[in-house]
Amino acid sequence: DPVEIRGFRHYPGWLSPKEQAAMLEDLRALVARAPLFSPMTPYGKPMRVRMTSAGRFGWYSDRRGYRYIEHHPSGSDWPPIPASVLAIWRAVSGSARDPDCCLVNFYAEDAKMGLHQDRDEADFTQPVVSISLGDDGLFRIGNETRGGKTQSLWLRSGDVLVMGGSARLLYHGIDRIAPGTSPLMPKGGRINLTLRVVT
């Protein structure tokens, strides 16, 4: 059963170790077709998290701003969303639609993601589903505007988190990774997948 926190639904250990390993294999094939890159922020600093995407749209950022684009920076189509990943969305999202973007974030042991809102999608009534693999990540949840009290929660390998309703526009980020906390990726690092309906 999910744990409710600030309108988020947290499913600790939703994926078994075998399912995590199978998903990681799917992601290796995905990254071979659509290599990870470090998007430039609009203020000119590269993001510390490396990224790629699958689905009709991929998330992208450069000096011109944040947006979704229909091709990988190399010019090729984004690969399809792996069936193993789509199955999770269908099981937990409650949405009648399938996602059209799976953003893949890779955190090296010193990477983090500052507090931000996800506002580049057209319909905020559609949920976002997140899947964590690899090292533990310290996730921080804020409010609908900057500032105020925040709450923290460790996201561990195999965890699924669903952001719907009032949680969809809360500020959130990853403060740090705990290196060496997961046997899934012996060389370390954390992967987070976020599934979204973009259009």
121 binding Fe ion? (CB under 5 A): no
Report the nearest approach of ligand MD3 to the CB of residue 50 (Å): 11
Nearer to ligand MD3, 75 or 114 (CB): 114
- DSSP assignments along 118-130, one per residue: ---SS-TTS-EEE
Nearer to ligand MD3, 75 or 90 (CB): 90
Q: What's the Cα-to-Cα distance from 166 to each of 6, 11, 31, 93, 118, rounded to whole Å?
A: 8, 18, 33, 15, 13
Site residues, ligand MD3 (CB under 6 A)? 103, 105, 113, 118, 128, 130, 137, 161, 163, 167-168, 170, 172, 174, 192, 194
Binding partner at 136 among ligand MD3, Fe ion, none, C-beta below 5 to 8 Å by kind = none
Nearer to ligand MD3, 26 or 120 (CB): 120
Find the binder of Fe ion among 9, 52, 102, 118 (CB under 5 A). 118
> Hey, what long-range contacts does 145-154 have (CB within 8 A, 24 or more apart)?
145/171, 146/115, 146/171, 150/115, 151/5, 151/6, 153/5, 153/10, 154/178
Piece in contact with Fe ion (CB under 5 A), picked from 30-38, 74-82, 83-91, 112-120: 112-120
